């Protein structure tokens, strides 16, 4: 009997001790900040808060006014899949849109050799991880003919839930290139390049997916566990379709002249804008038709404003749930986009316009809130930055650096930015851009000159080419 009493006393003490530890652990987890990652497709720095005064982007501008806008943020690759690979892994990777699926194949055959993704890392540290919309390359994060095969995951072991409500567009592939009221791209030549349909935001794909994101945000906010919610906004990706009310914003707008609109001479990464040109353009070409070029640029602007409205819906819900003061917000454009510069309409080149995109980070109680930084940074830097902000251990094999010093002091220094495509790679310093082709040909552009990226000065400055080439090779290891 005495032994039984001793056992019960010991059991009670241990149970009490475990309960206290469990409560302490739960409290510690809850104190960790939430993360809201907003990925916007094909968004160049075409925002009022980034200097484009004619753009209506009040919600993103408001975020910039309370956070840190990075005016010299560069992506690693001028295409969706490869750029999102670096965001979601923190590492340099393949240059193709299939980069994450290639990684998934490695996970399947030898998981131990593949380091955890950004959401997987947060998941391992107690976060609930959810993606809605286009976060990885395929909206919803699955493969198969219609991108909805549950057995083909783009990012294994990463998400508790990865969602894409396709609505009238039937499946993720249809949603990805959808126009109004469920129109799906079958033959791009038969789909209009841009379109303005009357109605609410749900007339186009983003309105439907953001409704789901709002539901997820509300549900996650009720939990005692911190969340990592990634939301992908589709527009301004082609085709340029948005509710008519956003086109009306630009009806009487006078746009500035297109900078260096001429096709570059000599060897460059110029291309014929195939992704753009394959849509129905009503027989018109913006490179030779000034009025049509204006129409295209206004359609892009309308899509930016539509995307901005979706950002506003997310931020408003965050405020309604009283979660802003405990949430890190990152807004990220997955790459830039040419609107006629260098006679290109699209991405996929290694010029500035393809690689330069907006990024904003907002944290609770941020120092110098609203002050932009001109320091040069890269997409790779987001992973280690979020780890440090959330007070998580940072994986040792990341290729980027934490931006916490710049979040504390916007006047701090940045670092050179690396980029790559299939046929060449590039490094951007504060003063120059070097593009090194696979055959060894070099393009060097002087950003202290008014000629910008229109005059290759590689032959005149071989010493700069040499220094930047060595740094490029050191950083990429290839």
Return the axis-axis angle of helices 80-89 and 99-110, rounded to nearest 10°: 50
Collapse the DSSP code of 436 into the 3-class scheme (helix H, G, I; strand E, B; otherwise coil) and give the result.
strand
What is the secondary structure of 40-51 as a DSSP string? ETT--S-SGGGT
Catalytic residue, from 80, 171, 177, 303: name it.
80
Q: Is 387 a catalytic residue?
A: no
Question: Which strands, in side-by-side order, build the sheet including 359-362?
Answer: 161-163, 128-133, 227-233, 34-40, 327-333, 359-362, 68-74, 373-378
Closest CA to 307 of 334, 280, 325, 281: 334
CA distance 144 to 445: 42
First and final C-alpha spacing in the chain: 74
Locus of tokens 């699926």: 101
CA distance 371 to 159: 33
User: How many of the other CB atoms lie within 10 Å of CB of 204?
Assistant: 28
Closest CA to 48 of 69, 72, 26: 69
Catalytic residue, from 137, 237, 342, 356: name it.
137
Q: Is 72 a catalytic residue?
A: no
Collapse the DSSP code of 328 into the 3-class scheme (helix H, G, I; strand E, B; otherwise coil) and give the result.
strand
Instruction: Indicate which residues carry an active-site annotation.
Output: 80, 137
């Amino acid at each position: 009997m005495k032994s039984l009493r001793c056992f019960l006393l010991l059991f009670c003490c241990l149970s009490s001790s475990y309960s206290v530890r469990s409560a302490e652990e739960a409290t510690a987890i809850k104190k960790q900040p939430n993360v809201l990652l907003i990925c916007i497709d094909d968004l160049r720095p075409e925002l009022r808060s980034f200097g484009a005064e004619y753009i209506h982007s009040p919600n993103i501008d408001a975020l910039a006014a309370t956070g840190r806008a990075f005016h010299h943020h560069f992506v690693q690759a001028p295409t969706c899949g490869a750029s999102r690979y670096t965001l979601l892994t923190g590492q340099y990777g393949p240059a193709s849109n299939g980069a994450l699926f290639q990684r998934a194949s490695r996970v399947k055959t030898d998981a131990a050799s593949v380091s955890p993704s950004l959401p997987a890392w947060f998941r391992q540290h107690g976060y609930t991880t959810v993606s809605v919309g286009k976060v990885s390359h395929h909206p919803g994060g699955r493969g198969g003919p219609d991108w909805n095969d549950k057995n083909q995951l783009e990012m294994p072991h990463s998400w508790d839930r990865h969602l894409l409500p396709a609505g009238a567009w039937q499946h993720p592939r249809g949603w990805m290139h959808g126009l109004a009221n469920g129109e799906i791209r079958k033959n791009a030549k038969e789909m209009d390049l841009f379109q303005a349909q009357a109605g609410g935001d749900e007339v186009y794909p983003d309105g439907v997916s953001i409704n789901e994101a709002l539901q997820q945000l509300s549900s996650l906010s009720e939990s005692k566990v911190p969340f990592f919610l990634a939301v992908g906004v589709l527009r301004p990706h082609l085709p340029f379709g948005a509710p008519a009310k956003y086109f009306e914003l630009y009806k009487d707008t006078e746009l500035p002249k297109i900078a260096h609109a001429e096709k570059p001479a000599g060897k460059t990464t110029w291309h014929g804008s195939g992704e753009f040109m394959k849509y129905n353009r009503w027989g018109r070409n913006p490179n030779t038709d000034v009025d049509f070029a204006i129409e295209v640029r206004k359609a892009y602007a309308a899509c930016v404003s539509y995307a901005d409205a979706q950002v506003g819906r997310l931020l408003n819900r965050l405020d309604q749930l009283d979660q802003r003061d405990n949430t890190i917000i990152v807004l990220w454009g997955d790459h830039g986009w040419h609107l006629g510069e260098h006679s290109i309409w699209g991405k996929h080149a290694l010029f500035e316009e393809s690689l330069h995109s907006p990024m904003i980070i907002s944290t609770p109680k941020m120092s110098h809130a609203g002050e932009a930084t001109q320091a040069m940074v890269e997409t790779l830097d987001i992973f280690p930055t979020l780890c440090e902000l959330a007070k998580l251990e940072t994986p040792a094999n990341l290729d980027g650096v934490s931006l916490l010093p710049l979040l504390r002091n916007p006047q701090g220094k940045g670092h050179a930015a690396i980029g790559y495509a299939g046929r060449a790679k590039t490094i951007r310093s504060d003063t120059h851009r070097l593009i090194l082709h696979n055959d060894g040909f070099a393009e060097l552009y002087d950003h202290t000159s008014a000629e910008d990226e229109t005059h290759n000065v590689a032959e005149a400055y071989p010493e700069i080419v040499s220094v930047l080439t060595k740094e490029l090779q050191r950083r990429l290891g290839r």
